[in-house]
Amino acid sequence: MLTELFYLADKSRIETEKVWRFVHSGAIVLCAVENAELPALHALMSRYADRPMGFADATLVHLANRESLNAVLTIDQADFATYRLAGKKRFRVLPVERP
């Protein structure tokens, strides 16, 4: 979620500029979620209520399934090791470089 990425970089103008460069590089694609897809997000949040799964994670899992993606860049590695894609496939969690 782009919002979370900017939130994490918010305290530093330099980090915020790095996020903007990343966005403008074409490395990510922005996807919209339609109102008709909201029940699927609700179902995911209910399925993983023991974690609990937040709206942002549910959105990422849903979009990954919809767009046939399996890689995720996240600092939430433990949860994404638990979440499953369609067909019980695991996410490929990309390493995050921490300062």
pLDDT in tens, 78-91: 999 999 999 999 99
Candidate from 31-35, 52-56, 63-67, 93-97 with smallest mean pLDDT: 93-97
Query: In angstroms, how far is the first alpha carbon of the chain from the final one?
Result: 20
Using omega within 30 degrees of 0 as the cis cutoff, is the peptide bond preceding 52 cis? yes
pLDDT in tens, 39-79: 999 999 999 999 899 998 999 999 999 999 999 888 888 99
DSSP secondary structure code for residue 53 in this structure: P
